[in-house]
Structure 1
Amino acid sequence: MPLRVGYVREHFASPLLQFADDDKGDTFTLVECPGGTGQLIAALADDKVDLVIALTDPLIAGIGKGNKTYRLVGSYVCTPLNWAVITGNDSKFKSIDDLKGTTIGISRPGSGSQTMAYVMALQHEWLAGPQTHALKFQVNNDIHGLVKSVNDGTTSAFMWEWFTTKPWLDKGEVRFIGSVLTPWPSWMIAAHTSPERAPHAEIRRFVATLTGYVRAFDSKEKRLHGNVEFIKERFGYPEEDIKAWMETVGYPEDCTAIPGKVITDTLHVLVTAGVLTRPEGGFSTEDFTLKDVVRLI
């Protein structure tokens, strides 16, 4: 039975989509999760997917909070994600500082949109340590619900990847009032822990083959010729936006390896932001991976 691979239909997924075009469902099928990483993690628990490509911070935060459903099995994007801070077109909010004490929109609990709100609060010194849990959130499921909430006034702002949200900015439906970069590489690969659900040999083959598509997409040749046309055709983004994004994104040389420092550095920020509580004795990086699938380097 083909692996069920959960993903978010964004430009970051381009190497995966190219892999899927060639595979034609022989070894894996794609399951779109527009609600983002929170939905992807829930889909793993609900037996809707076997493997996901999702944001680093909520994946690591979920494991750090005791979720035993999944573990990390690979790297996907090695550069930070640029999160736009977005408010309604006619709202009263003019800067990030105006958002202190207001209700922030998120897609789902445990999503990147929630984690990055904690990071934003930490960077702007609104609250200290565990008190960041006092942040107020409203769940709005997906980008459409988030845009609606900042325009009807039920939330002050939300956070979403810059270029993904730019079409709403271009249409005059929202305003960007700032941005926050992730303090970690932005995307990783995770799989269900049950070898019956997601056989480890199949996961290894999938991630190893994906590496070839990632290398090709990240190559100088494809950056000059091919990537822009693919993204424009598949997503309809303006060429100038695609070229601007291509200047900011980088992919790993080997998806089958995870730098241990990525896990430890991400955990440090999440603990500092109050998203996680460090257990007595600290965290072990090996507890965050499927050891017989991925290499820690």
Structure 2
Amino acid sequence: MNQHQQADICASTLYVVPTPIGNLEDITQRALSILGRVDLIAAEDTRHTGLLLQHFAINARLFALHDHNEQQKADILLAKLQQGLSIALVCDAGTPLINDPGYHLVRRCREAGIRVVPLPGPCAAITALSAAGLPSDRFCYEGFLPAKRKGRMDTMQALEQEPRTLIFYESTHRLVESLRDMVAVWGPARYVVLARELTKTWENIYGAPVGELLAWVSEDEHRARGEMVLIVEGFQPQADGLPPEALRTLSLLQKELPLKTAAALAAEIHGLKKNALYRYALEQLGDDN
């Protein structure tokens, strides 16, 4: 069969189908084909998925499968698959199982020898990473930080020296608190990119040292609204001391320029990394206080 031809829907098969995270045009033709032809769609929220299907004129049977019932309902869906039905698994937005329901069902299917077919498609974490300008060859997806401050601080401390780029989801009402805790644990110079409302009308991607990012978010309440991904620079071990001439240049520039600008210029003059000089200057300011 030519790979571009419409694939047949197989009996006793679970299809893991990503759906748009905002822009409906991001859905794939293959996803639409499968959603329109399977026997049943297992959805995180049947009302939400119903609107998506209505938009694309797809009539389908829906089955509610969410965080609160998945372990109980997985066996019901497994039985249907074993009887020969084809089922598509979807979440409200993005790729199922990535901080969304589906793990228990997929695991039960794998254990029972049921075929699981994954489709590529939208994922907020990967979409944000692709535009963050931080290293993407190695990264660590951490999902949502704990809601309570102690758990959040403990998680950040455990990740303090993680060298890989870190990816977090965060909610509107906890963004400022999480950024404050990042400043407290990792220091104000750790570079963080906030990606908001990806693929939507008010999409915004803004990166800065986390101390500056916190100030930027706090200036306008709208900057803390929407669906958010935080991409965090991995831990960067500092070399044994910065060149004395670079520190002298930095000190002179600081007298006339904002700290961030002074660090950038000193780094360019001496061929160093801007963040290294910026961290040094922030540490010096902290020591002076």
Does TM-score exceed 0.5, indicating one fold?
Answer: no
Of structures 1 and 2, the one scoring higher in RCO (CA 8 A, sep 6+) is: 1
Bigger radius of gyration, 1 or 2? 2
TM-score, normalising length: structure 1: 0.31
